[in-house]
Amino acid sequence: MPWGMLSGRVRGTGQRIEGGWPHELPGRLPVGRGDRASYQIEGAANEDGRGASIWDAFSHTPGNVYRGDTGDIACDHFHRLEEDLDLMAELGLKAYRFSVAWPRIQPEGSGEVNRAGLDFYRRLVEGLRRRNIEPMLTLYHWDLPQALEDRGGWTSRETSERFAEYAEIVYEALSDDVEFWITLNEPWVASWLGHEAGVHAPGRRSTSEALLATHHLLLGHGLAMERMRSANREGNHLGATLSLSPVRASREKDEKAAKLVDGNVNRLYLDPLLRGEYPKDMVEHYREVSDFGFVRDGDLEKISSPNDFLGVNFYMRHTVREDDSPEASFPSVGARIVIPHNVRKTAMGWPVEPDGLTELLVRVNEEYGPIPIYVTENGIAVHDYVDPEGSVNDKERVEYLDSHFRAAGEAMERGVDVRGYMVWSLMDNFEWAEGYSKRFGLVYVDYPTGKRIPKSSFRWYSDVMRRGGVGEAFRSKNTRSKERVARSHAPSPS
């Protein structure tokens, strides 16, 4: 994809941002991005001064992760950095989103900086730049230093303050070479799967603690933005990434449950981040477990400080039914997920409904925008295997990405300012509580040997990027149909 200029007005500022990824032509979606998280890929858990994270503690506790898998070695990206950078160049990536491991920078979560940890990320950024790949840095992808968890973790306001200090350290070190910065990745997952469901680190099971974690993660975002803005690095773009899902009621009587799920999954994060308030219906709903007294004067102003962009991670639409049982998908709002009939499912059991991405992007734009949006994660787990010829034919992934690129293109045609699209993920990796049992990558990883095998989706995606984006082949069927009708009614040339 050729370079160009970004332009767009940021909600609440009246300012324009420039530089970075372009819109190429109307209806063309800028693709060419890859994605990964530090604990899922790096390995080297006890090397170069790295401290323990909550995922180290969680994964080493029997029963928490499938078959007892851990991220101790993962994809060994720490030692295979140059090999993986060459893979990115071979793929033709235009940008690469990665996360920094907080305990690799501050082993105790505060205080002394581990220079060897910073040097690793310097080498990563320098390697990307040498290969003309734009780095997009995420400061927090769930690997909180265990030392901070021991003092309360995200249920403690102190962690928000420590996060801002850590963000300032990394920004000072890398902001001259990294233009795009994301504070948090998917705070809903960290809050609710980690603090209510207990299926992610740190493994807590309390609705009130999930609400505390929600606020302190968002406050950490606001405080980090304040620190980074104060550095006056002109041209850098700062934002946050949310995991968002459109929500539908399975039946008419499930409408209330659907609204509450939407409030929990989407509005509990979108509203404070982009409107400076928590949704009133959710504050009222949770009144029995929390009075929201953790929200202090000035907090929401910090949380809603202007973002240059919003990162959106999309994997599925939620179709829900009311369910008050403790085993419900969303116990705090009394709802469970159901899979619609005749909908294909991924290896994770998630429904494949690409029009949900269009619905989501249009909704965010209309209700919270206009704001530049990056699709910072989208992808599919497939039951991949190496065939006798040594190849991995993942046609399901190609079909999935094709349909979702089309869906994002449809959103652009409907006025959504989509600036870029990142595929999850570059390579198979440690998939949190699922261990190594689920594969999302464009590159197959043979974990015992570390061997990388590009899948058929790797070659397909590379071809998409060589074409310079999605372009004609990915414009919506509806638009192409309208154009055919218009041509059929056009006067014949004389």
Taking only the tens of pLDDT, the chain with its 494 residues reads: 221 222 232 333 333 233 333 333 223 566 766 678 999 999 999 999 999 999 999 999 999 999 999 999 999 999 999 999 999 999 999 999 999 999 999 999 999 999 999 999 999 999 999 999 999 999 999 999 999 999 999 999 999 999 999 999 999 999 999 999 999 999 999 999 999 999 999 999 999 999 999 999 999 999 999 999 999 999 999 999 999 999 999 999 999 999 999 999 999 999 999 999 999 999 999 999 999 999 999 999 999 999 999 999 999 999 999 999 999 999 999 999 999 999 999 999 999 999 999 999 999 999 999 999 999 999 999 999 999 999 999 999 999 999 999 999 999 999 999 999 999 999 999 999 999 999 999 999 999 999 999 999 999 999 998 887 655 544 444 444 444 434 433 333 33
pLDDT of residue 469: 63
Nearest in space to 246 (alpha carbons), one of 135, 348, 357: 357
Q: Is 430 within 8 Å of 39 (Cβ atoms)?
A: yes
User: H or E element: which one contains 486?
Assistant: helix 477-489
pLDDT of residue 8: 30
Nearest in space to 322 (alpha carbons), one of 246, 254, 245: 254
Model confidence, pTM: 0.91
Q: Please, what are the domains in the chain?
A: 33-489 (3.20.20.80)
Q: Is 12 within 8 Å of 18 (Cβ atoms)?
A: no
Coil vs helix vs strand at 21: coil
Q: Tell me which residues are annotated as active site.
A: 186, 377
Q: Which residues contact 188 (CB under 8 A, 6 or more apart)?
A: 214, 242, 243, 264, 265, 268, 269
pLDDT of residue 229: 98
Nearest in space to 240 (alpha carbons), one of 288, 291, 303: 303
Strand-pairing partners, residue 345, are 351
